[in-house]
Amino acid sequence: MAAKEFYAHPRQISDVTECEFYHTMDLPGIGTVNGSWDLRGRIHDYIGGIPVRGRRILDLGAANGFCSFDVEKLGAQVVSFDAESATLFENLPIPGALFTDDYQSWLCSAERRLDRLKNGYWLAHRLQHSSARAYYGDIYHVPDALGTFDIVLVGQVLVHLRDPIAALQQAAARSSDTLVITEAVADADQPVMRLCGTVANGVSYAWFHLSRAFYREMLLMFGFELVQITQAEYICSHSGYPEAMPLTTLVARRRSSAP
């Protein structure tokens, strides 16, 4: 039996109908494919304006890889990381949600969507002549064997996790220099995390928004200092029509010695 490859084997996808898109992207030879987030022309804001040329970047929770491909176009060497399986996805246990009431049906459609998301990544990868490598695993167990990266990107993935602190710790462990976190944040001065999904709002896919002070403290514990916070609005069509959604980008640098 052949040994499992460490990095994901590139998929030869040519049919766009086999794909699902989280990111809106302009694909050579195909045109615009529509996803719920349109970050086109916005990578500079999304990653806090940090220079990426010649840097090794790990893009955690890459989805269709829009950020991976855009930083690669700016001269970075990229590893895109995403979920091995939909069994890793953590939804809130909200009564009435398919995840809670009929887990097997939910899992079946979630696996299909994840597979189609990966197809979208590989279609975009091929059409844009990307050299990025992809690794499929679990953000709670990012393997040491991936090595360390100058920059680790954590874009809108913590909100989907039951334990964002553990994931942030994994991200920090893989970064030799810079962490970039782009998420919606809780508007509070204290170091708090605010629950997003409730029984009343029925939002089962969003766990927490952390406050800036919370990030600052956790990052210090992981050996990083929060050096920059910026905010920008991005077009999101999650609800079926385009809306401007504010996101915060936090840039943290590894401290040379313990505080």
Ligand X SMILES: C[S@@+](CC[C@H](N)C(=O)[O-])C[C@H]1O[C@@H](n2cnc3c(N)ncnc32)[C@H](O)[C@@H]1O
CB closer to ligand X out of 18 and 217: 18
Cα–chain center distance at 164: 12
175 part of the interface to ligand X, by CB under 6 A: no
Helix (H), strand (E) at residue 74: none
Residues binding ligand X: number (CB under 6 A): 17
Q: Look up residue 211 and give its DSSP letter.
A: B
163 part of the interface to ligand X, by CB under 6 A: no
174 part of the interface to ligand X, by CB under 6 A: no
CB closer to ligand X out of 159 and 220: 159
DSSP symbols for 130-194: ---EEEEEBTTB--GGG--EEEEEEES-GGG-S-HHHHHHHHHHTEEEEEEEEE--B--SSS-EE
Among 52, 67, 185, 193, the residue binding ligand X under the rule CB under 6 A is 67
Of 59-67, 191-199, 208-216, 218-226, the window that binds ligand X (rule: CB under 6 A) is 59-67
CB closer to ligand X out of 155 and 219: 155
Residue ranges in 123-142 that form contacts with ligand X under rule CB under 6 A: 138-139
CB closer to ligand X out of 157 and 219: 157
SS (H, E, C) 184-198: CCECCCCCCEEECCC
Of 2-10, 96-104, 150-158, 207-215, the window that binds ligand X (rule: CB under 6 A) is 150-158
Instruction: Determine how many CB atoms are found less than 10 A away from the CB of residue 221.
Output: 12
Using CA atoms, how far apart are residues 152 and 112, in angstroms rounded to an integer? 28
Among 57, 152, 157, 251, the residue binding ligand X under the rule CB under 6 A is 157
Helices (H), the chain: 43-46, 66-73, 98-101, 103-127, 164-173, 212-221
Residues forming the site for ligand X (CB under 6 A): 22, 37, 61-63, 67, 82-83, 88-89, 138-139, 155-157, 160, 182
